[in-house]
Structure 1
Amino acid sequence: MAAFAEQQVALRGEASLPKEELQNHCDQLAMATPGVEELRNNHGSIESRQWTLIANGATPLWAIVRAKDGAPDGWAPKPGLDKLDFQPPLEPALIPGSSHFLAYAPVVSNTLADSQKSAAMEQVFGAAQGELTWRGRKYSYILTPDLPCFPFLQ
């Protein structure tokens, strides 16, 4: 799965989308951002931190969502990842010493916002690599080594 994720990034980088169309996809991502978490294997323990887009003038920025009592870098243990029933499983792709971003959106859109998040995820991140179940609801997901379109908050 990690190889597939890297292949998807390469394909996005080589895509012959006109600059205007790419900008439209990035604008859509800014308006309807799917869920995004960064996952890592820290010596056998899976950890995560949540990411979101924040407004910064004309250019949105990717920023870590920190829990009030959480670590300054946002990382926290992610026990129970196996309870989300990832199909295919994520663990084989989470190589110790590296991290990947997990973008996810509902499979069935109950609202316009859900539909927009799903569309943005597919257009910007690429085709879904699998599904997970969270709180009784199915989500499609994509695992990728980097975040598209916008810079990181420094």
Structure 2
Amino acid sequence: MAPRFPAGAARVSPRPLHGAVLSLIVGCLTLAVAGCFHSAAKPVPPDSAAAQQIAAYAEQQAALRRDASLPQEELQEHCDQLATTTPGVEELRITHGSIESRQWTLIANASAPRWAFVRAKDGPPDGWTPKPGIAKLDFQPPLESALTARSSLFLAYAPVESYSPEDSQKSATARELFGAAQGDFTWRGRKYSYTLTSELPCFPLLQ
């Protein structure tokens, strides 16, 4: 079972395009219930070389998508695949030295998909939830160095080793639309690759 960020997540719409969208938060909160989350995120100076490198990479991925480097037909095919097999997507930020996150997913909205954040039951209206134990997932390179360089970034992730056709499709979609893997993390002995970007691809945000 893949990790998830938000706990008790309730989808924004009763008509989700992909009912099994993965996210790191549920896994993290499961550990929290077991008393496994003890360490808070350690901020990294915003002028560090790592922060600048990772933030620059995220901007590069967004710029490549804005340049529409893929032929329109191929891009549309990838976007259709994204709507049916969505990799895990989280928005991350650092607030008062601690990492917060909120899950994003695609929902059906009239005839066109829309990106929408997932609000946990009884959670805050804006969906942001503190995740002090995220360091337990052993992100390499660490996330803090990138997050201190800007207000927030989107993180897309998928399994490194595919155990099913769905795993393979999620990995391909993440690579084709979010960019090449920038790092990895480990959950229950299984490794996931991740990419940071400043924008979500293909579809507009739900207003």
TM-score normalised by the chain length of structure 1:
0.95
Are the structure 2 counterparts of residues 87 and 97 from structure 1 closer, same or farther at C-alpha, using a change threshold of 3 Å?
Answer: closer
Residue 95 of structure 1 deviates from its aligned partner by 2.0
After the TM superposition, which of the residue ranges 38-47 and 88-97 deviates more from structure 2? 88-97
In the alignment, structure 1 residue 123 sits paired with structure 2 residue 176: yes
Q: Which protein is bigger by CA-based radius of gyration?
A: 2
Residue 150 of structure 1 deviates from its aligned partner by 0.4
Q: Quote the residue 1:87 is aligned against.
A: 140
What does 1:37-116 correspond to in 2, within 5 Å?
37-95=90-148, 98-116=151-169
Deviations 1:87-126 (A, max 9, x none): 1111010027600000000001111111111111111111
Q: Flag as ranges the 4+ runs of structure 1 deviating above 6 A.
A: none
Give the unaligned 5+ runs of structure 2.
1-53
Residue 60 of structure 1 deviates from its aligned partner by 0.7
Higher strand fraction: Structure 1 or Structure 2?
1
The separation in 2 between residues aligned to 1:152 and 1:36, in whole angstroms, is 13
Give the unaligned 5+ runs of structure 1.
none
* 2:111 counterpart SS class: coil
Q: Percent identity?
A: 73
CA root-mean-square deviation: 1.3
TM-score normalised by the chain length of structure 2:
0.71
Q: Aligned residues, how many?
A: 154
